[in-house]
Amino acid sequence: MLAWFLLLCVQLMFSWICASELTFELPDNAKQCFYEDIIIGTKCTLEFQVVTGGHYDVDCRLEDPDGMVLYKEMKKQYDSFTFTASRNGTFKFCFSNEFSTFTHKTVYFDFQVGDDPPLFPNENRVTALTQMESACVSIHEALKSVIDYQTHFRLREAQGRSRAEDLNTRVAFWSIGEAFILLVVSISQVLLLRSFFSDKKTTTTRVGS
Amino acid sequence: MEMKAVVSSTGLMLLFAWLSPSQALYFHIGETEKKCFIEEIPDETMVIGRYRTQLWDKQAGSFLPSTPGLGMHVEIKDPDAKIILSRQYGSDGRFTFTSHTPGEHQICLHSNSTKMALFAGGKLRVHLDIQVGEHTNNYPEIAAKDKLTELQLRARQLLDQVEQIQKEQNYQRYREERFRMTSESTNQRVLWWSIAQTFILIITGIWQMRHLKSFFEAKKLV
């Protein structure tokens, strides 16, 4: 019993099990890099999606500790990449908005390293799971994928909603602006026309002919 | 005696679980740079953030394990841009909040460098881990506290997950309502604007013609 707990302590100290999902804003002409220390043989997944901004695209690049590029895509809206760490070290992935001159982008990414941590301390036992337990495990996996789909749906909906709100404000400003321009143009037309005819009384005969 | 060992090991295990950001994702931040992260969450959702900072040591050419006196200022804003948390933490920190309104919450971090000299060319490495909703639950701790069997713990986890899905669905309904209202408002605005524009156009046209007619009649040109 004591041995189990000590084993777990050691395992937790060196466990490389982690999942990070973050949403951040990438200003124009900016690049943001994230790093993670991964041990060899761990299966990792990187998923990203651009939520708002411009044409909803971003450059993404994933490098291994030797600097070798594992994944490189330019102007991608959404992608998912799975790889197995071929060596120990710091893996780096960067999102770049350097091709854009004035649009900020909001980027969401989900970096999953390894499997989920075991739920219960003595999970690493050799006996098989009972039917109930394996049913629970499969329900858990299914719910995880439901939550994942929900997240992606929420991001797409946020994209649509931000476009709709943008459109709404633009319509308001444009209507006021156009009404103003219309009035200014019609009044200045009349004034200009009047100015052609009003100044010189001697030219009235010329105009008449 | 064995009981004591078990209890102290549990404590140690929980301590390591609490300090886990040493394995989390990290990024570099400049001296006065403010890094913000957005969390779009339903209401009554708990968020726990943990970070660890490391300062670049120019002499050693590597990152120091930890630096006392180096702090990070954490600011959290709710969807209405109201500040719900604004606190200074040490070089290792843990912040937590529960959302009361659904929407986009913004978590901003920036360092308050007291050691300006050391920052020459300065880089600060920040390990960050933000957990939301059911991921904030510490299952081994819950099992120990409520004395649950493995099957009961699994059932508890499934219940928490389903609750999170329900909350998200509810939030989805609220967002869809907002989206629909925005679209209907745009529709109304476009409709009224077209009518108003046609009206203004006709009125200014009539005014122009009448004004010019009276002007030319006055000038005896017509």
Whether the pLDDT of residue A188 is over 80: the answer is yes
Note whether A23 contacts B140, CB cutoff 8 Å.
no
- Which structural domain range is residue B79 located in? 25-136
Interface test with A, best of B29, B186, B197, B214 (most A CBs within 10 A): B186
B152 shares a domain with B117: no
Round to whole Å and give the CA distance between B133 and B110: 25
Q: Tell which B residues from 162 to 181 touch A, by Cβ distance under 8 Å.
A: 162, 164-165, 168-169, 172, 175-176, 178-179
Beta bridge partners of A74: none
Mean pLDDT of A11-22: 64
Q: Domain A20-115 is of which CATH architecture?
A: Sandwich (2.60)
Which pLDDT score, from 0 to 100, does residue A209 have?
Answer: 46
Residue type, B70: L
Domain assignment of residue B10, yes or no = no
Q: Which tokens is B161 given?
A: 């997950």
B65 shares a domain with B47: yes
How does the average pLDDT of chain B come out, rounded?
Answer: 83
B127 shares a domain with B112: yes
Q: Which of A69-78, B14-23, B98-107, B195-204 has the lowest mean pLDDT?
A: B14-23
Of residues B57 and A1, the one with the higher pLDDT is: B57
Among B25, B38, B211, the residue with its CB nearest the CB of A36 is B25
Domain assignment of residue B208, yes or no = yes
Whether the pLDDT of residue A100 is over 70: the answer is yes
Domain assignment of residue B16, yes or no = no
B112 shares a domain with B149: no
Which pLDDT score, from 0 to 100, does residue B83 have?
Answer: 93
B207 shares a domain with B145: yes
Q: Which tokens is A110 given?
A: 């989900």
CATH value at residue B48: 2.60.120.380
Please give the residue of chain B at the shortest CA–CA distance from A13: B16
Closest Cα of chain A to B90: distance in Å?
Answer: 22
Q: Is B184 on the interface with A (CB under 8 A)?
A: no
Mean pLDDT of A28-56: 91
B125 shares a domain with B53: yes
Determine how many CB atoms are found less than 10 A away from the CB of residue A55: 11
* Ramachandran class of B220: left when φ > 0, alpha when ψ lies in -120 to 50, beta otherwise: left
Q: Are A60 and A94 in contact (CB under 8 A)?
A: yes
Residue that finishes a domain, picked among B114, B136, B158: B136
Round to whole Å and give the CA distance between B76 and B53: 19
Residues of B in contact with A1 (CB under 8 A): 2, 6
Tell me which DSSP letter residue A117 carries: P
pLDDT digits (tens, 9 = 90+) for A78-94: 999 999 999 999 999 99
B34 shares a domain with B121: yes
Mean pLDDT of B10-25: 55
B71 shares a domain with B88: yes
Q: How confident is the model at residue A73 (pLDDT cuts 50, 70, 90)?
A: very high
Note whether A24 contacts B158, CB cutoff 8 Å.
no
E strand or H helix that includes residue B84: strand B83-89
Closest Cα of chain B to A36: distance in Å?
Answer: 5
B74 shares a domain with B31: yes
Residue that finishes a domain, picked among B136, B160, B176: B136
pLDDT digits (tens, 9 = 90+) for B87-146: 988 888 899 999 999 999 999 998 876 655 455 456 788 899 999 988 888 888 888 888
What ipTM is given for this predicted complex?
0.76
Domain assignment of residue B15, yes or no = no
B132 shares a domain with B143: no
Which pLDDT score, from 0 to 100, does residue B143 have?
Answer: 85
Which pLDDT score, from 0 to 100, does residue B117 have?
Answer: 45
Residue that finishes a domain, picked among B100, B117, B136: B136
Domain count, chain B: 2
Mean pLDDT of B152-169: 92
Domain assignment of residue B2, yes or no = no
Whether the pLDDT of residue B15 is over 90: the answer is no
**Cα separations (Å) of B83 from A23, A114, A162, B73?**
19, 36, 23, 13
Please give the residue of chain A at the shortest CA–CA distance from B12: A9
Q: How confident is the model at residue A53 (pLDDT cuts 50, 70, 90)?
A: confident
Q: How confident is the model at residue B202 (pLDDT cuts 50, 70, 90)?
A: very high
pLDDT digits (tens, 9 = 90+) for B61-95: 677 776 767 788 899 999 999 999 999 888 888 99
Whether the pLDDT of residue B59 is over 80: the answer is no
B129 shares a domain with B146: no
Domain assignment of residue B3, yes or no = no
B50 shares a domain with B102: yes
Among B24, B193, B211, the residue with its CB nearest the CB of A190 is B211
A142: nearest Cα among A150, A153, A130, A154:
A150
CA dihedral B59, B65, B68, B72 (to 10 degrees): 100
Domain assignment of residue B164, yes or no = yes
Please give the residue of chain B at the shortest CA–CA distance from A182: B201
Whether the pLDDT of residue A18 is over 90: the answer is no
